[in-house]
Amino acid sequence: MFDLKAVNGQIIATSQVYTSESALRNGIESVRRNSKSKIEDRTVEGFKTMTNPKYEVFLDGDGKYRFHLKAMNGEVVAASQTYQSKISAKKGIESIAINAVNAEIVEEAD
């Protein structure tokens, strides 16, 4: 799995677990490729379902805001931390759009 970090080192999003290094690298490229996708706000009554790729903003079981970045195939390639407000969650999405494209890949030992 991988974490996408902002320049300040804070984790913006975390990937799913991959079974191979090539699948993981494809996941990284998918986040890069889809980082500027549209936002589907699932916290609004009667929200419009959008096609993938997209970000889905939603409320979790604790009433906190989160988002997923879904690839063209509908797979979640990045999941956010929890946020206290929708505005903060949307700032997290903006941070992915800014940081993902040129993010350095750093491999860490297990």
User: For the whole model, what pTM was predicted?
Assistant: 0.91
Percent of the chain with pLDDT over 90: 85
**Residues, the chain:** 110
Neighbours of 85 (CB within 10 A): 10
> Looking at residue 83, what DSSP letter applies?
B
**In 3D, which of 10, 1, 23 has the Cα closest to residue 83?**
10
Using pLDDT thresholds of 50, 70 and 90, give the confidence band for residue 6. confident
The answer to whether residue 102 scores a pLDDT higher than 90 is no
Q: Are 37 and 51 in contact (CB under 8 A)?
A: no
**What per-residue confidence (pLDDT) applies to 9?**
87
Tell how strand 38-41 and strand 54-59 pair up: parallel
- What is the predicted pLDDT for the residue at 110? 63
Q: Specify the amino acid at residue 56.
A: E
Does domain 3-99 fall into CATH 1.10.1670.40?
no
Euclidean distance between CA atoms 47 and 42, whole angstroms:
6
Q: pLDDT, tens digit, for every residue of 70-95?
A: 999 999 999 999 999 999 999 999 99
Strands (E), the chain: 3-5, 11-14, 38-41, 54-59, 65-70, 76-80
